[in-house]
Chain A
Amino acid sequence: MGMTMTEKILARASGRETVEPGEIVEVAVDLVMTNDITAPLSIREFKKTGLERVFDPKKVVLVPDHFVPAKDIKSAEQAKIMREFAHEQGTIYFEVGRAGIEHVVLPENGLTLPGQVIIGADSHSCTYGAFNAFSTGMGSTDIAAAMALGTTWVRVPPSIKYVYKGTLPEDIGGKDLILHTIGLIGVDGALSAAMEFTGPVIDKLSIDDRIEMANMAIEAGAKTGIFPFDELTREWMAQYSDNPYEPVFSDDDATYQEVIEIDVTDLRPVVALPHLPSNTHAAADIHDMTIQQVVIGSCTNGRISDLREVAAILKGQQVHPEIRCIIIPGSQEVAKQATREGLTDIFLDAGAIFSTSTCGPCLGGYMGVLAEGERCVSTTNRNFRGRMGHRNAEIILAGPRVAAASAIAGKVADPRALPVAAI
């Protein structure tokens, strides 16, 4: 009986020949991550074990990114707890100015490899499935246990195979694909399952686009979202990491809970209207929905490829006079690269702001919190009520192109209509 790539990773990490969906297995973890919001709880729980050291400091990574540089005294205290613990334990740690958003920073530093088991006290830790890893989010206490033991328990998820077919329109990216998929299956459409993204369209999809899709697997309730390993992955890894790794491949006779085919040929740029990521529509079908703010960034769309797409649209244009356009690079590296390429100037000249890397507004933290009744187009991943500020604010999720077009138009806009809308 064949196995899916998810099953193969979990079998290997649990020291078994085979595993089956539904079984609970204890797996060795290759990387354990926590951030400034979840680390203080993890550290408190870790200390309850009486242990003095984490199982392996080179496999524990702490990333301050949600509320840093500290937005107030309380968040400074939380960041201090994690910083002191990181230094005391000698874990991997990324300080402000050399850091950024965890799911951007870890891959950039070659820490997330094919075939690995990666867990993080952050729900978007499923991002690393883009590299053919089993990666998933957990709570602080689970992460504390893994910091102590070097293992965690996982119920082997059933796999659902998504086969993307047809011809991908040039201006459709990973964000459109995943929003469209969540729109089809719903926010619990893959509850506790592994989403396996495959098909001829995926074979040609860039790693950054794959990252966007894996990142949002959690928004369909999935445990993880995983991609096949291929030549593109190999090239990407060669660029970012010297560490050895062992990719996995699904067997032809692997069992899937479901196989879903999605034809992408007619896909138009997608938006998800309030208050669920599954409330998807074509941006072109949304007329006269005025907005007050645009946020471009986050672990979903804060990479250099995203900023290039935005710059291509904002170049020589002006952000609508009534719009605040906030562009946040996903990491210090992204910020440096954007500056080298002249993107920073394009953003600033267009009347946008370009800040240091942070999660900031994505979770209503700071740097762009919404007031009551305000509406925002955002390249982030959640449009739940209250996510970015007041509970009666509205968030519209979109890819970078739609966000940039909307910033110019002052309302939800289809980038395909831009030459007309922008003037």
Chain B
Amino acid sequence: MRFQGKNWKFPDDVDADVIIPARYLMTTDADELAEHVMEDIDPGFSKKVQKGDIIVAGANFGCGSSREHAPIAIKAAGVSCIIAKSYARIFYRNAINIGLPIVECPEAVDDAEEGDEFEIDTDEGWVRNTRTGKSYEVKPFDPFIQDIIAAGGLMEAVAKRVREQGRVAE
């Protein structure tokens, strides 16, 4: 898939608590969660983020809490893709599972200035900074993870499997 948008830049170690504070976790409604996305690291983010925008972040993005509400809020806020130096592992799995596109590309993050526009192709495995014209290779997903993405998310893959096992009628 290909994405294009301007970026909002965040530092290292953005934790799941600042992405979506626990005081909003009494719901699983994506749009309600999106209203508070990034509130404790960038108050007002949910107002200024536009559909298709990209998050560029440092290392260990999404660390801490396992709350899946974090990638759900980011996705529902309209963010099309995240480029980070690295992800905390639970966030990484959650993003894949719910279909929020993420890529790992430390060099692109280092060179990025907030507001730069990026083009990202997750199938071909590259990102391009439109301002500087510079292209970067991204680490491809493991084939196992590509299968989850191709299935449309983890539960779609699981649903298919339990049908095949005959545990659920076709």
Listed in ascending order, the chain A residues whose CB lies under 8 Å from chain B are: 24, 37-38, 40-41, 44-45, 48-51, 66-67, 72, 74-75, 77-78, 120-123, 125, 137-142, 144-145, 148-149, 153, 155, 187-188, 191-192, 218-219, 221, 223, 276, 363-365, 369, 382, 384-387, 391
Tell me if B17 and A385 are in contact (CB < 8 A): yes
14 contacts between A and B (CB under 8 A): A37-B22, A38-B67, A41-B69, A123-B64, A137-B90, A139-B90, A139-B97, A144-B158, A192-B89, A218-B64, A221-B89, A363-B17, A369-B23, A384-B17
Give the CA-CA distance A219 to B169 in the complex, in Å: 43
Q: Would A142 and B60 be within 8 Å (CB), given that A38-B68, A67-B26, A391-B43 are in contact?
A: no
Q: Would A37 and B86 be within 8 Å (CB), given that A49-B155, A74-B27, A386-B21 are in contact?
A: no
Is B162 in the interface zone, CB < 8 Å from A? yes
Give the CA-CA distance A216 to B15 in the complex, in Å: 15
Tell me if B158 and A145 are in contact (CB < 8 A): yes
* CB proximity of B130 to chain A, nearest CB, Å: 30
Tell me if A364 and B22 are in contact (CB < 8 A): yes
Other-chain contact of B159, A48, A77, A187, A391 (Cβ < 8 Å): A48
Tell me if A141 and B17 are in contact (CB < 8 A): no
Tell me if A121 and B66 are in contact (CB < 8 A): yes
Q: Which residues of B contact A149 (CB under 8 A)?
A: 158, 161-162
Tell me if B144 and A137 are in contact (CB < 8 A): no
Tell me if B22 and A45 are in contact (CB < 8 A): no
Give the CA-CA distance A364 to B88 in the complex, in Å: 22
* CB proximity of B89 to chain A, nearest CB, Å: 5
Give the CA-CA distance A364 to B98 in the complex, in Å: 26
Give the CA-CA distance A40 to B156 in the complex, in Å: 18
Give the CA-CA distance A140 to B69 in the complex, in Å: 9
Give the CA-CA distance A142 to B96 in the complex, in Å: 10
Is B108 in the interface zone, CB < 8 Å from A? no
Q: Which residues of A contact B54 (CB under 8 A)?
A: none
Is B123 in the interface zone, CB < 8 Å from A? no
How many of chain B's residues touch chain A, expressed as a range? 35 or more
Other-chain contact of B63, A49, A77, A188, A365 (Cβ < 8 Å): A188
Interface pairs A-B: 6 shortest CB-CB: A386-B40, A74-B26, A139-B94, A139-B68, A50-B168, A141-B97
Give the CA-CA distance A123 to B156 in the complex, in Å: 24
Q: Which residues of B contact A121 (CB under 8 A)?
A: 66, 68
* CB proximity of A218 to chain B, nearest CB, Å: 8
Tell me if A384 and B89 are in contact (CB < 8 A): no
By beta carbon, the residue of chain A nearest B41 is A385
Tell me if B63 and A221 are in contact (CB < 8 A): yes
Tell me if B25 and A37 are in contact (CB < 8 A): yes
Tell me if A37 and B67 are in contact (CB < 8 A): yes
* CB proximity of B35 to chain A, nearest CB, Å: 14
Give the CA-CA distance A94 to B69 in the complex, in Å: 24
Give the CA-CA distance A120 to B67 in the complex, in Å: 11
Q: Which residues of B contact A41 (CB under 8 A)?
A: 28, 68-69
Q: Which residues of B contact A369 (CB under 8 A)?
A: 23
Q: With contacts A41-B69, A386-B18 known, what are 17 further pairs, Cβ within 8 A? A: A37-B25, A45-B155, A49-B168, A50-B163, A50-B168, A66-B22, A66-B25, A75-B26, A78-B27, A139-B93, A145-B155, A191-B89, A192-B89, A365-B23, A369-B23, A382-B64, A387-B17
Tell me if A223 and B89 are in contact (CB < 8 A): yes
Is B154 in the interface zone, CB < 8 Å from A? yes
* CB proximity of A347 to chain B, nearest CB, Å: 26
B 49-71 contacts with A by CB, 8 A: 59-60, 63-69
Tell me if B86 and A188 are in contact (CB < 8 A): yes
Tell me if B155 and A51 are in contact (CB < 8 A): no
Other-chain contact of B18, A37, A44, A137, A385 (Cβ < 8 Å): A385
By beta carbon, the residue of chain A nearest B26 is A74
* CB proximity of A182 to chain B, nearest CB, Å: 12
Tell me if A24 and B142 are in contact (CB < 8 A): yes
Q: Which residues of A contact B43 (CB under 8 A)?
A: 391
Tell me if B17 and A78 are in contact (CB < 8 A): no
Tell me if A141 and B89 are in contact (CB < 8 A): no
Give the CA-CA distance A421 to B163 in the complex, in Å: 67
Q: Which residues of A contact B167 (CB under 8 A)?
A: 51
Q: Which residues of A contact B94 (CB under 8 A)?
A: 138-142
By beta carbon, the residue of chain B nearest A382 is B64
- Indicate with 1 or 0, residue by residue over B70-111, a CB within 8 angstroms of chain A CB atoms: 000000000000000010111001100110000000000000
Q: Which residues of B contact A391 (CB under 8 A)?
A: 18, 21, 39-40, 43
Is B116 in the interface zone, CB < 8 Å from A? no
Other-chain contact of A123, B60, B66, B69 (Cβ < 8 Å): B66
Tell me if B158 and A148 are in contact (CB < 8 A): yes
* CB proximity of B155 to chain A, nearest CB, Å: 5
Q: Which residues of B contact A38 (CB under 8 A)?
A: 66-68
